[in-house]
A and B are shown apart, each in its own frame.
Chain A
Amino acid sequence: MKEVSYKKLKGSQNLRQRLLLSTLSSTPILIEDIRADATWPGLLSHEVSFLRLLETVSDDCHLEINETGTKLKYKPGIVMGGRYLEHDCGLSRSIGYFLEPLIVLCLFGKKPLSIKLKGITNDSKDPSVDTFRSTTLPLLKRFGVPSDGLELKIESRGVAPKGGGEVTLSVPIIHNSLKAVTWTDEGMVKRIRGISFSTRVSVQFENTMIHAARGIFNRLLPDVHIFTDHKAGAQAGNSPGYGISLVAETTSGCFISVDTTISYPRGNDDMDIDEKKELMPPGEVGEEIASLLLGEIEQGGVIDSTHQGLLFLLCALCPQDVSKVRVGKLVPYGIQTLRNIKDFLGVNFVIKPEPATGTVMLKCTGSGLTNLSRKLS
């Protein structure tokens, strides 16, 4: 009846975000040259897994991948949401990789979502599930997402390489649209919270990390609490590892977070444990993560650099009001997000650096996206 005109894109970068924006703006996309020259051409297993996840939560989306996986045709459907869904995220990327787009997407769904995701909960590459709970969910609330039904439950933890973690994510739907924010006051850090975990290793690892981190914070702030979460048995997943996630809360209600995880690298199962290279000792991990957090705090901005992309995306999805946010230095991911937003939603940002504070002020009018798939009661 009506031939579909695909938006043509190239390359493997930002696949996740492109798919997300394509679904939100319901623009069919055609991506070519996905790692055409690489040794392992085409889509990687986590990307395929993400596509499967999209199929799970949405209805009637069309996916076509060519034989080598270097060409992807995607026609978005309607985001359905739904309860008791399940998805295995695989072991090549952690659950954080899947959570990021999923929480934005399912806000604009037909029904509230609750999904069980299996795989690696903590990873050094992607934001960990702890950071999601502590920082990302409050960020969504700022944009007018109802807080009841917005939840992330960690059933069990799993780290690389063998995973075995499990989380349950529930996302409510928004009934009309998000709310524009003016969020420029970063405030002063009033408390630091955190959570450390260890799976299949001694709880002593956690205590060492916490001790080291506190050693740095103590000179700045007395209100530091880092909780331990030692998992054992079935809840500990299949691989040993430990990690920590810290979040600094400011007087104006901003959350700045960092996290890290130490575990054995993937892909060398054949080697003996002795042959594996030494992992970073917990003391150093604690110090490093604390200094990273201080680095983030020093940058200013209402959000840490990891969440910049999400923040920009939410701003762009607002109704046609002006949103104004302050961030620290723009990170590459944030910049790519801005580009993608411009491509798909046609939203331009006014970016103004403030040399006095070393921060960047961003302004935009939202695209006016409303939740069209919801049912009129």
Chain B
Amino acid sequence: MKPFDYIRAEDTGHATSAAGQGATIIAGGTNLLDLMKLEVLQPDALIDINRLDLKQITEADGGLRIGALVTNSDLAADMRVRTDYPVLSEALLAGASGQLRNKATTAGNLLQRTRCYYFYDTAMPCNKREPGTGCQAMEGATRLHAILGGSDQCIATHPSDMAVAMRALAAVVEIEAANGETRHVPLSDFYLLPGDTPHIENVLRKGDLITAVILPAAPKGAQTYRKVRDRASYAFAMVSVAARIEMDGDTVKDAALAFGGIAPQPWRDADAENALIGKPATKETFNAVADILLKNADPKKDNAFKVPLARRTLIATLNELCGKDVA
């Protein structure tokens, strides 16, 4: 870990100003310190925002405004989240461990870095860590890697569970900039695909501070989060699905489907959702949705199983939410 200056933020303006001058914001630190210890990240200065008043969950515009520093534990346990946004509680509780959830924050979770083995090893080339050095995963070990949305520069996945649920809930990120202005970015626009710039993962600019995540009014219908992983607990998703379905009789009235473990960002595919909305909840419909979702899948040898796995997990999730018996 490289030496750094440690600054404790007194208010958000202090934080954005320090960040604007190059300091890295630290909140829970569960991923940042992990990466700093390996010198994957080498900030010159840390601005600690933990004492800022960003820990409230408040009701706003019929939805919820979740402060950036609300811990994963507190968010999962919040009775309004449990009742109105169960997909979010379920996703949070499926992630990491009790200890990590007590420290990890809402904003920090959105900004988690990939678990790609080669990103984590400074002896290996990595376009995300050191642009232009090459991608060692392309011809390497790819069990963790993306089948959708990757580029020839990078096929790393975003590892979050929480962000997948938030994507399905159409969350909006509230950002305060160094100039004091606040802007709102829908999560759908927040992440960037790797393309030729895999080191740029989102739309945040230097000096930006995420201050909250806003959930719109509780959606109608049923919600669920399903995570598929190698261990029964404490493991990243191979595939996960956050789904929300509103039925009208046997017809799907509205739906949102987001996926983890298969793409560089929490993945949502409007075409796949459109193949579901207004359609009868049948096997044929669900297969058509999966076909559209996976039509551009470009797997490697190690992660080819994610194509059938994503299909099956999606179909089982749809069956569950539409009241079908999968068995």
Q: Do A and B come from one complex?
A: no
- Could you tell me which A residues sit within 8 Å of B by CB distance? none
